[in-house]
Structure 1
Amino acid sequence: MRRTPARRPTIKDIALRAGVSESAVSFALNGRPGVSETTRDRVRRVAEELGWQPSAAARALSGEGSGTVGLVLARPAKTLGVESFFLQLVSGIQEVLSRRKLGLLFQVVEDIDAECAVYRRWWAEHRVDGMLVVDPRGSDPRLALLDELGLPAVVVGTLPEPHTEYPGISNLWADDALAMASIVDHLHGLGHRRIAHIAGLPDLTHTRRRINSLRAEADRRGLRDVDSVTTDYSETQGAEATRRVLAWDPRPTAIVYDNDVLAVAGLGVAAERGIAVPADLAIVAWDDSVLTRSTHPALTALVRDTAVYGGHAAEQLIALLDGGPAVRVQDELPHLQARGSTAARAAP
């Protein structure tokens, strides 16, 4: 037998139980003048008893907000299935938003133009009250667009220098340059002098900072056999890039990968080539995850609580929605966790 779906309580239901007019209920629930405090309290108590909630559409039409924030990710969808960073980031964001009964509207698109189109559509449809923005670019049209639309936003990641400050846009970032320096310090201390870097998407600000930091650290130590290769973060391109750098002459003795998926793919290529890790090749992953901890050997990786990082971004956005000023906050620097994939380099 087909069940009749439960009916949502309405303003009419509240008015009947409270013994007032529907207009009085509307005034009371929307905080408008025209009813006594006694009536207002009675209406709100009845609404709570009935489990009434205002519809998002009605709130948007009345200018009260949607109760939702947005996150659009302009990356190839195929790279997201096994990458843990964004799953952890979103879980931290959602945990903080849920405390304020805010929803998260999430969409994956192919490129930055499509992302901007989503911003315009969500703004026009009153779908979101603010945005979380990831993967800053060197020339990034999203910030000016969000400022134009008047959408509060938090950019997660390093902004390019110089950049325009906008009154409604905050920034949460960690220092990728210092993180890369810590990796080079570790590898150099183990005796590695030929270092390859399998990087992510080339137009991202953090990719450029990592590449530039690697080059600066290499120059400071007089290392000549150091270079970076960019990828789309996928396992396929990670494996292809690893095969390419392992064909260099001289061959690198260490490879740094910009995420856990790339690093695990690289470890597989080393195994297929009969290259022992860490005896013949050291491997470092930028992001720690269950993947990096489950391989043999386990992979040395940069460790941070990504869910907490996401929570901090959500807290910044809530502060903007509450009328606070835009801020720029440097988050905790990831620390390097040495594991079995790096070891002292035997003398050549």
Structure 2
Amino acid sequence: MTASGEAARRPPARRPTIKDIARRAGVSESAVSFALNGRPGVSDRTRARIRRVAQELGWQANSAARALSGDRADCVGLVLARPARTLGVESFFLQLVSGIQEVFSAHHTALLLQVVPDLAAECALYRRWWAERRVDGVLVVDPRTQDPRPRLLVSLGLPAVVVGGHAAPGPDAAPPPLPTVWADDAKAMARILDHLHGLGHRRIVHVAGLPELAHTARRIRSLRTAAVRRGLDPRQVRSVATDYSDAEGAEATRRLLDTAEPPTAIVYDNDVMAVAGASVAAERGIPVPGGLSIVAWDDSSLCRVTHPRLTALVRDTAGFGRLAAQELRAVLDGGPVRAVQGELPHLEERESTGTP
């Protein structure tokens, strides 16, 4: 048998136990437990020897055992209930997770990430995680207009922070059930409309994401409000829903360009759909921005390498993730329920927008 074959048949290395440490250090298992858990009952010299042996053996505390004893699991959860095909191409979640991980890794806390098909599966997962004491808390993304998760998490007593939730309530309103970090989608949409309206556009369509998401509803509502304030025709300034994918972004663009009065400007809810829309315009020989102006809600390298470069809403998504992670750490340390606002995005004007 070859050396590689012998290695393949060799059983995996066994994880060292307290018994192994006791045998190597020449002490009792209870002495090892006292030393490793920082409890009295052993001398400083013995404690140092036990810890040195534990380090030599590569021993690590068992997170499940710590959880059963009431200690923290040193792990937080993040569940994504979105179509898997939309996650593979969208840069937003990669940047968000990088910011979250930056905070937790600095405190030796693991991030448990799982993708599920729907909200029912997400809620079931929260119940299982909490029953097994798998996580100390969770970050809840993609708040819905009708969302069962905050009530469930409160009933479980599972610490959580909602990422992208509603704005802070007024002084007379009831406090939110869970801590929230939020971004001002309404003001961001108003900035986009100000830019396009100032260029002379009057037929503006917003190619939105999933309609059940709270931030999608806020953007749609903000567009409508801003259009009315400027005296624009609501039939000419409107939103259409998609699933955030490039395929649906392209298809929505084709339908819009086939109408009797096609829009002169389109605002896309992410960078992937904006690039897909620009490709459709190129296929049809429609110049950008001469025949169609394009704005992407989230900036990325895609927006900057496309020709022409796409006007985009720029925000520090990784910073938003860091803010959410810091808020969850504060909650785990006994902090209050509060709503924390992230940085307001700014519009980066590039070559994809111009006069109609």
TM over 0.5: yes
From 37, 44, 68, the equivalent of 2:75 is 68
Q: Is the 8 A contact 1:158 1:175 kept in 2?
A: no
Q: What amino acid maps onto 2:220 in structure 1?
A: I
> What are the within-5 Å matches in structure 2 for residues 105-184 of structure 1?
105-159=112-166, 165-166=176-177, 169-184=178-193
Cα distance in structure 1, aligned partners of 2:119 and 2:21:
46
Query: What's the offset of the Cα at 1:278?
Result: 0.3
Q: CA deviation at 1:37?
A: 5.2
In structure 2, distance between residues paired with 1:313 and 1:47: 35
Q: Could you tell me which amino acid in structure 2 is paired with residue 153 of structure 1? A: A
From 4, 21, 27, the counterpart of 2:28: 21
Shift of 1:218: 0.6
Larger displacement relative to structure 2 (277-286 or 21-30): 21-30
- Name the residue aligned to 2:256: 245
Q: Alpha-carbon deviation of 1:233?
A: 0.6
Q: Take 1:43 and 1:164, find their aligned partners in 2: how far apart are those partners?
A: 49
Matched positions, count = 343
* CA distance in structure 2 between the partners assigned to 1:273 and 1:11 by the alignment: 70
Q: Is the 8 A contact 2:74 2:136 kept in 1?
A: yes
Q: Which residue of 2 aligns with 1:56?
A: 63
What secondary structure sits across from 2:111 in the alignment? strand
Give, in whole Å, the separation in 1 of the partners of 2:243 and 2:111: 26
Q: What pairs with 1:159-308 in structure 2 (closer than 5 Å)?
A: 159=166, 165-166=176-177, 169-224=178-233, 225-308=236-319
Which one-letter code corresponds to 2:224 in the other structure?
R
Task: Tell me how far apart the structure 2 counterparts of residues 39 and 322 of structure 1 sit (CA, whole Å).
Answer: 32
CA RMSD after TM alignment: 1.9
List per-residue Cα deviations over 1:107-132 (Å, max 9, x = no partner): 11121111111111111222211101
Q: Distance in 2 between matches of 1:130 and 1:65?
A: 10
AA in 1 matched with 2:341: Q
Which residue type is aligned with residue 71 of structure 1?
L
**Who is 2:90 aligned against?**
83
Alpha-carbon separation, structure 2, partners of 1:129 and 1:25: 26
CA distance in 2, matches of 1:148, 1:31: 34
Q: Deviations over 1:28-87 (max 9, x none)?
A: 322344445554454344434443210122222222132211111111111111100001
For 1:146 and 1:30, the matched residues in 2 are separated by 31
Per-residue deviation, residues 180-208 of structure 1 (Å, max 9, x unmatched): 01101111111111100000011111101
| 8 Å Cα contact 1:137/1:159 also seen in 2 | no
- 1:339 equivalent to 2:328? Answer no
2:176·2:338 contact (CA, 8 Å) conserved in 1? no
Partner residue of 1:316 out of 327, 331, 334: 327
Query: In structure 1, how many angstroms separate the alpha carbons of the residues matched to 2:147 and 2:350?
Result: 37
Partner Cα distance (1:219, 1:165) in 2: 30
Report the CA distance shift for 1:332/1:101 in structure 2 as closer, same or farther (over 3 A): same
Query: Letter of the aligned partner of 1:279 in structure 2?
Result: G
Code of the residue aligned with 1:83 in structure 2: it is E
CA distance in 2 between partners of 1:48 and 1:144 (Å): 43
Could you list the per-position Cα deviations for residues 207-236 of structure 1 after superposition, in whole angstroms to 9, with x for gaps in the alignment?
011011111111111111201001111111
Q: Is the 8 A contact 2:316 2:343 kept in 1?
A: no
Structure 1 unmatched runs, 5+: none
Matched residue SS, 2:179: strand
Contact 1:211 1:228 in 2 (8 A): yes
Distance 2:112 2:174 in 1: 27
- The amino acid of 2:192's aligned partner reads I
Deviation, structure 1 residue 253 = 0.7
Contact 2:296 2:313 in 1 (8 A): yes
Q: What is the percent sequence identity of the aligned residues?
A: 69
Ranges in structure 2 where 5+ consecutive residues have no aligned partner: none
2:100 corresponds to which residue? 93
